[in-house]
Amino acid sequence: MKTNEITGEIIDASIKVHRHLGPGLLESAYEAVLAYELRKRGLKVQRQLTLPIVYEEVELDIGYRIDLFVEDEVVVELKAVEKMIPLFEAQLLSYLKLKNKKIGLLINFHVVLLKNGINRMAN
């Protein structure tokens, strides 16, 4: 499956989840339901994937966790916040860099229309 197909499935699944649950829940609820929906579609999904920093050949766990890592290709960072801030974009870009991946999705479920809460980013 190509990256664009994967991101398309993630976006489609996110819209379905948002239509069903609506805004206002905690991020963890959207994460669990979205992971379920993606797995139901046959995609490989890892939740809360530990992302260590490698320094001088030593892996250091500093608390970074990828919300969803789909098909070993796309990093998905979920939010359920009233206002997006640049820090969230920096967080996703950091995860992409550390994971050596090109494409990530920053999805904020705390919006009326989910398409306004989706940001596709490239490293």
Which residues constitute the domain of residue 114? 3-122
pLDDT on residue 1: 79
The residue to which tokens 């789909």 are assigned: 70
We report the CATH number of the domain holding residue 27 as: 3.40.1350
pLDDT at site 98: 95
pTM for the whole thing? 0.95
Cβ atoms of residues 73 and 61 within 8 Å: no
Residue 102 in this model has a pLDDT that exceeds 90? yes
Among the listed residues 59, 97, 96, the one whose alpha carbon sits nearest the alpha carbon of residue 77: 96
Total domains in the fold of the chain = 1
- What is the percent of the chain with per-residue pLDDT over 90, rounded to a whole number? 98
Average pLDDT of the segment spanning 77-93: 97
Q: What is the band of 22 on the pLDDT scale with cuts at 50, 70, 90?
A: very high
Percent of the chain with pLDDT over 70: 100
